[in-house]
Amino acid sequence: MAGGEGAAAATAAAEGSEAGKGGSYDGKCVFCRIARREEPGTALLSSEYEDLTCFRDCRPGAPHHYLVVPVEHMGNCKTLKKEHIPLVKRMMEVGKAVLQRNNFSDLNDVRMGFHWPPFCSISHLHLHVLAPASQLGFLSRLFYRINSYWFITAEQLIERLQTENATS
């Protein structure tokens, strides 16, 4: 193990990584704390993947507004690479499953995506799952606008990751 990797592992351990709770952890990150059940006011919704968690957005932009986040601390969507495409797809699966478990079945009326930096309020990767998209209010239509420079759909992100890495 190179010196830098050893130092990174020691730092992660010092910051609170625990066995069975994922790797990287930032105790200052609210999403890291939520994912580890350290924020008592936030109920976690079940996820079929141990490395992902889901919860309701504290400022909902739609009747169903959930956030799907990796348990392990990851940067924003701009830091992702081609190898993260399966992660994004699994995040989408979790979002769809949570909607269906909450009696929302019209998956054609859903908006899933990420805020593009610098328009991220939290620097931990998180997928917004909003439904029904047809009922977004004025501000929500603005905040979660498709083809804007501040919001990218999950499908657009996957396409971008495939394209950028194919040309590199």
CB count in 10 Å sphere of residue 54? 23
Q: What distance in Å separates the CA atoms of residue 135 and residue 21, rounded to the nearest whole number?
A: 37
Cα separation, 112 vs 57, whole angstroms:
13
Q: Among 64, 73, 124, 126, which one carries the catalytic annotation?
A: 126
Q: Quick one: DSSP state of residue 24? A: -
Hey, is 130 helix, strand or coil? strand
- The CB density around residue 150, as the number of other CB atoms within 10 Å, is 15
The contacts of residue 145 (CB under 8 Å, 6+ apart) are 151
Give the distance, in angstroms, between the CA of residue 72 and the centroid of all CA atoms in the same chain: 11
Q: How far apart are CA 142 and CA 76, in angstroms?
A: 20
Asked about 73 being catalytic, the answer comes back as no
List, by residue number, the catalytic residues: 126
